[in-house]
Structure 1
Amino acid sequence: MARKKSDKIDALTLANILRTDAHAHRRLPGDSDLARAIAVLARAAQDAIWRRTRATQELRALLREYYPGFLDAFGDGVHTNLATVEARAILSVAPTLEQGARLTKSRILAVLRRAGRQRRLDDAAARIQDALRRRQLRQPPLVEQAMGRQARALVATLDAECKNAQELNEAASESFRQPPGHAVITSFPGLADVTGARVLAEIGDDRDRFADARGLKAFAGSAPVTRASGRSIAVTHRHVKYNRLAAVGVVWAFVAAGRGRCSPRVLPCPARTW
């Protein structure tokens, strides 16, 4: 008969492991309180960005079902960034195809100005009006109205997550400028306040945590995997990784390669999400 689970026995087993084999285990990192506070803010900002991305994807999938012209109004044929302030503002005042077709150019201009746009207003308003008035497949009126209400709810969620991501990124950046490691981390090409705060949040400020670069690579999940069988040897990338460190690593590499569309110093709400 299998022995029942016992917390006391589990605790005793762990205590014996530490008593006899403590040298074989890595000690917990001794991060400072400031580094731990930065970790809280940076991870919360990353969570807000992931929620923002999820809300954007849900909204895009919904608009494909009943409002494809709106996606054309704020897309370049390949990418559609619905997290921009302008897109959210227009969708809030015209969540259905019927309402979008009735928007005048002056109303669109007013909405864009309230959203903060200052350049090429006339061109943007004309492009948006043309896309919203273009003939397209429609849902039945009642279904379209229901989907419009759902879109407004998703826009409200998207607004909240955009605000959360921006405020938490600013708070993490402000705290990140205080420790002495700020100058070291931001000296790497592609790392700035936001991305640097995320890197510090995940690796900590305990200089003795990793014995060498190989230990840090293994922790990040970027160390390659070597599989050997007989005379064949294959070296592949690792699928299992630390998602938080990998997420900032993608942004770091993207900006460092000189192909970033956004400034490396800030990642505002409309920026590309990872």
Structure 2
Amino acid sequence: MGVFCGIDWAEGHHDVALVDETGKLLAKCRINDDLDGYHLLLDLLAEHGDTAQAPIPVAIETSRGLLVATLRQGARQVFAVNPMAASRYRDRHGVSRKKSDPGDALVLANIIRTDMPMHRPLAADTDLAQAVAVLARAQQDAVWSRQQLCNQLRSLLREYFPAFLEAFKDKQGGLARADARRILAVAPTPALAARLPLWRLTAMMKRAGRRRNIEADAERLQQLFRREAPHQVPLVEEAMGKQAAALLLQLDTACEAVDDLGQATEEAFRAHPDAPIMLSFPGIGPQIGARILAEIGDDRTRFATAGGLKAYAGASPITRASGKRHYVGRRFVKNNRLNHVGHLWAFASISGSTGADAHYRRRRAGGDWHMQALRHLFNRMLGQLHHCLLVRISFDEAIAFPAEPQPAGTATA
């Protein structure tokens, strides 16, 4: 007789429920989130027939954490059930809409008892792929955090020091540039910036790593900082300068984290056997490749078809049909990280592949908006990536984007 386990996850403790294939409750308990609690859970599973050859499947509402890592050791199937899906199942067991942690554990156990084929277990990715996922997601979070801090600093500078924004508005990186951060740290107010001598501006730019056009740029900055402009009252300007200095400290830390995590991510990604195949695609560099690998993993059984991967990424459209009503539109339920990096990949591939560029322009000529054309290109190239990873071959431009046949009677040069 089959046994199924449901775990209602919490921060300090977890509720466990075991049911048989008829839905009868066999055991329930509450365990702490520590080593003793994990041993108690494994002992409880062993008492009800859990073995290394035939482990009891487990449903839980999270895909990460030490508890999940403990359960994933061996061949056990662990199902990460979306909390929203679990709440829909709860209504099947009662109409009073009551809720409790032991009851949620029982609901989770019954989900895999009745609908296991409808849910996907956690992928059996290699340790290296999981490490790349941790680093790539952390680096992406650091980039987003850096941009958020840049936006906050920009909003503050607009209120009292717009000349500084004008000085770096056309520079790549903007306020996150090393020379911009170094100059702002020394002169966080217009009064201090106006007193900066030319030699000091030049020295700060050199220490920040600048190698070209230093003297001309230093003269331009000095003219901007000394130009007549409206000012806040001195006390308010000084207070805003201190606020900008505090934000700048956070921005410096975020920039350093982006660089350190980016280097670690690239090293881990290049050590993975899928890296040469992914880097053969136009538009994929180490950072984009690492982010894609982080979300799709290296378990080739996870996506049986390219269509499943496209739906997971939100690249393929979704159809809603009922009677005479038929609607085809973009997906809103998707892996947002993969969808985000997919558009970066598609946009970069336009300049790296003549076939991708021609495909994008055809979609635009057919009436697609910019993002629609990029999504369609991402959808096509994602299917090609799935095939190349499955059969272990590199990208081939001639196969991926074959030349269209010319109309009959067209003369060729």
- TM-score, length-scaled by structure 1: 0.87
Q: 1:229 to 1:4 in 2, by over 3 A?
A: closer
The alignment status of 1:20 with 2:114, answered yes or no, reads yes
Give 1:115's aligned residue.
Answer: 208
Q: 1:11 to 1:142 in 2, by over 3 A?
A: same
Identical aligned residues as a percent: 53
* Worse-superposed segment, 200-209 or 3-12: 3-12
User: Structure 2: which amino acid aligns with 1:46?
Assistant: Q
Give 1:49's aligned residue.
Answer: 143
User: Structure 1: which amino acid aligns with 2:146?
Assistant: R
* Structure 2 CA distance for aligned equivalents of residues 200 and 32 of structure 1: 11
Give 1:158's aligned residue.
Answer: 251
Partner of 1:146, secondary structure, is: helix
Cα deviation code 1:153-200 (max 9, x no counterpart): 111111100110110011011011112111111111111211111110
User: Structure 2: which amino acid aligns with 1:198?
Assistant: R
Match of 2:170 among 62, 76, 80: 76
* Structure 1 CA distance for aligned equivalents of residues 286 and 173 of structure 2: 27
The alignment status of 1:214 with 2:270, answered yes or no, reads no
The alignment status of 1:177 with 2:270, answered yes or no, reads yes
- TM-score, length-scaled by structure 2: 0.59
* Structure 2 CA distance for aligned equivalents of residues 101 and 165 of structure 1: 32
State the shift of 1:80 in Å: 7.3
Give 1:200's aligned residue.
Answer: 293
Residues 225 and 238 in structure 1, CA contact (< 8 A), matched pair in contact too: yes
Match of 2:157 among 30, 45, 63: 63
User: Structure 1: which amino acid aligns with 2:112?
Assistant: L
* Structure 2 CA distance for aligned equivalents of residues 230 and 132 of structure 1: 67
How large is the RMSD of aligned CA atoms in angstroms? 2.2
* Structure 2 CA distance for aligned equivalents of residues 233 and 29 of structure 1: 34
Cα deviation code 1:3-24 (max 9, x no counterpart): 6423333222322332233223
Give 2:128's aligned residue.
Answer: 34
Cα deviation code 1:54-93 (max 9, x no counterpart): 000000000000000001111139x871101111111111
Residues 39 and 202 in structure 1, CA contact (< 8 A), matched pair in contact too: yes
* Structure 2 CA distance for aligned equivalents of residues 23 and 67 of structure 1: 60
User: Structure 1: which amino acid aligns with 2:259?
Assistant: Q
Match of 2:232 among 139, 148, 153: 139
Match of 1:7 among 101, 113, 126: 101
Structure 2, unpaired ranges of 5+: 1-94, 353-413
Q: 1:34 to 1:135 in 2, by over 3 A?
A: same
Larger strand percent: 2
* Structure 2 CA distance for aligned equivalents of residues 66 and 16 of structure 1: 60
* Worse-superposed segment, 36-45 or 225-234: 225-234
Q: 1:246 to 1:134 in 2, by over 3 A?
A: farther
Residues 227 and 235 in structure 1, CA contact (< 8 A), matched pair in contact too: yes
Which one has a bigger Cα radius of gyration? 2
* Structure 2 CA distance for aligned equivalents of residues 10 and 61 of structure 1: 45
Q: 1:133 to 1:227 in 2, by over 3 A?
A: farther
Q: 1:9 to 1:234 in 2, by over 3 A?
A: closer
Structure 1, unpaired ranges of 5+: 260-274
